[in-house]
Amino acid sequence: MKFALALAVLTAVGYSRDASAEINNCINITSVPATITTQGVYCLKQHVTTNLASGNAINVMVNNVTIDCNEFKLGNLASGSATQAIGIRAEGRNNLTVRNCGVRGFRTGVMLTNGQYRVEDSRFDFNTQTGLHVTGDGSAIRRNEIIETGESTVAGVTEFHGILAAGDMDIIDNNITGVVATSGGTRHAYGIRTTGMDSGVLRNNRVRNLVSTGLLGNRRGIWNQDGGHNTIEGNTVIMSGDLLIGDAGIRCGGGLILSGISRNNTILGTGVLNSALALINCTSVSGDYVNPL
């Protein structure tokens, strides 16, 4: 009984501690779906839960918006693994910030595309395909926790991401734990995946517990799919077991050489025979450490 009570208290603290950032001077979102059409500061002053099979819980249709959840939860767990809903959505917006949010149980926790965004100090857990998806030059993803992502049962889903990003941006000090592909076919698990990144910075991120499925399924810790001139510094990627063909610890970019510099990264658990796959297309400047165990 004491353990259950302690667990309940810890859970409550995890989503509602220090709920003061914007709790007084903001427009409270009390229920979802909600559409934001006026610029300003929006917030949660309580947990908000829903059961969306599709659509967006919060849809931002205007620039110059801050959403501060004050450590409260936007939850959709009741929808199950077949949900196609998105927690917070925006397309083509500028000066949009999402912070201090707990977003869980959506196909994608937050999807902000083709604009300029900040996502910071938030937690994304038990989302079924992608924790956080951001595209747009000049954006920033920083100090977030992305936990236990994956196992969507939507037909045709083959790729699962902690963070999915595109454009020249900063991805700094994020913790990705547990990206698990749905069993039953060839499916891939990415900690952080970027496309079209040229002159990006990925610094001090942690990636662990990636699970792919099928003989050709891949695990990729930090995968810069294309682009170059990136700075990859101080990240930690922990793989479990040998890296197979297609797996990777860190890939700096799309070119054969000089796609980006790597400095002070740690890649563990690559396997004795496959340690060369720990760093791909990287110019190692100093301090990178690869351990096969």
DSSP character for 243?
P
Check whether 257 has a pLDDT greater than 70. no
Residues 197 and 89: their CA atoms lie apart, in Å, by 22
**Above pLDDT 70, what percent of the chain?**
90
Are 40 and 68 in contact by the 8 Å Cβ rule? The answer is no
Residues 49 and 175: their CA atoms lie apart, in Å, by 24
Q: Give me the pLDDT at residue 254, please.
A: 87
Q: Give me the pLDDT at residue 3, please.
A: 30
Residue that the structure tokens 């913790």 belong to: 175
Q: In DSSP terms, which residues pair with 290 in a beta bridge? A: 267
Check whether 236 has a pLDDT greater than 50. yes
Q: Give me the pLDDT at residue 256, please.
A: 64
Check whether 78 has a pLDDT greater than 70. yes
Between 5 and 149, the higher pLDDT residue: 149
- The mean pLDDT value of the chain amounts to 91
| pTM for the whole structure | 0.91
Rg over CA atoms, the chain = 19
Residue ranges per structural domain of the chain: 35-291
Check whether 144 has a pLDDT greater than 60. yes
**Per-residue confidence band for 238, with pLDDT thresholds at 50, 70 and 90:** very high
Q: Residues 127-132: what's their mean pLDDT? A: 98
pLDDT digits (tens, 9 = 90+) for 204-222: 999 999 999 998 999 999 9
